[in-house]
Structure 1
Amino acid sequence: MEQFRFPDDLVALQVSWLDTYTALAKTPAGAGTTALRQRLVILSCRLHSHPYWTTPGRSRGTWAELRHQARARGWAAAA
């Protein structure tokens, strides 16, 4: 399987997105989720517009691998 090397800042963005998504999922409806939703939108925009994706030969088809690496890094940092 091909190994993808993502820039540290891109992986960090994905870690932040995953953390925000998890926090939103754990927050009860009506408990003030606006700030989390706004943060999720901002992080999504930053992820999708990251310069990494503009380099020829790099495909957004590698999102699953990016999420995998972000989860691994996020869990390692939390331990």
Structure 2
Amino acid sequence: MRYTFPHDLLEAQAAWYATYRRLADPSAGQAGATAYRRRLQQLSVRIAAHPYWTTPAGSTPGARMALKELARGGRA
């Protein structure tokens, strides 16, 4: 199935992955790691609470997986 995601939702998911990669970088240091964890929490809330998930198109588990794939650079 093909999904059309709102720009802000796709942007938030892509930012989540970018932040996660930065957190995984050992050169981030402890202070950086704390900031990245906080940012991941903020992005997670923004993604999970997005109104798109209450629409018929967003109400399936496939939509969440497609968003993740698309945000990682794949095609959904």
Q: TM-score, normalised by structure 2?
A: 0.80
Amino acid at match of 2:67: L
What is the match of residue 77 of structure 1?
A: none
What's the CA shift for 1:56?
3.6
Identity of aligned residues (%): 43
Q: Runs of 5+ in structure 1 lacking a partner?
A: 74-79
Query: Aligned partners of 1:8, 1:69: CA distance in 2, in Å?
Result: 12
What is the match of residue 34 of structure 2?
A: 34
What's the CA shift for 1:3?
0.6
* Structure 1: 4+ residue segments shifted above 4 A: none
What's the CA shift for 1:72?
1.7
Amino acid at match of 1:7: P
**What is the root-mean-square deviation of aligned Cα atoms in Å?**
2.0
Residue 73 of structure 2 aligns to a residue in which SS?
A: helix
1:10 has 2:9 as partner: yes
Q: TM-score, normalised by structure 1?
A: 0.78
